[in-house]
Amino acid sequence: MILYGTRFGATQGIAQEIQKGIQENGIETEIYDLKEHPSKNLPSSLKGHDGIIIGTGIKMSFWTKSVKKYVKKHGAELKQKQDKLGFFVCCGMANKKEEIGPAIEKYIATRLDKSGLKPALIDAFGGVYDLSDTSLMSGMNKKIISGILKDEEGWENVENKTYDFRDWDQIRNFTQKFVSLIKNS
């Protein structure tokens, strides 16, 4: 079962790619956007699932509310399944290869440490800055991001462009590792 939280759609794309990869290995998967599926509409128990993947986008250092809520509510059950649990974040910090390790530490390890949850597989994937007309970002968020790209990265004419930093090889590699976990159970 794949569960994810997204604000602008980038994590959804990753979750769907992971689903595709798992299914190509002949394993059935269910996928849920946690915002659209309140817990009453989700399978009430994790028992029927051989493995679980949870993914969240990051904004202002925070997971999405729906993922935070889910992990809090199902912490004990997830802990029992943590050897078959994958957890990933999709964030701007991981756009740079050398920042992937620190992003895992900052957005996953230190947060889960508090609950004692240790997923078998964790990763941080780069994100998307969609500054186009069809973007799900508000005008305000677009302004913040274009300011950062100009001031911190020195990029010019960023308006109306889309920057996609998701590394599909990294995502497929994560998927294969997860499939191995499931198959070796």
The interface region with ligand FMN, picked from 17-25, 32-40, 79-87, 137-145 by CB under 6 A, is 137-145
Residue type, 83: D
Using the rule CB under 6 A, give the single segment among 18-26, 70-78, 109-117, 123-131 that binds ligand FMN.
123-131
- The residue to which tokens 């959804």 are assigned: 12
144 binds ligand FMN (CB under 6 A): yes
Which member of 32, 63, 88, 129 binds ligand FMN (CB under 6 A)? 129
The tally of CA atoms less than 13 A away on the side-chain side of residue 181 is 21
| Rounded-to-integer distance, Cα 23 and Cα 79, Å | 25
What phi and psi values does residue 62 have, to the nearest 5 degrees? -100, 145
Residue 127 binds ligand FMN (CB under 6 A): yes
The site for ligand FMN (CB under 6 A) is made up of: 6-11, 57-61, 90-93, 127-129, 137, 141, 144-145
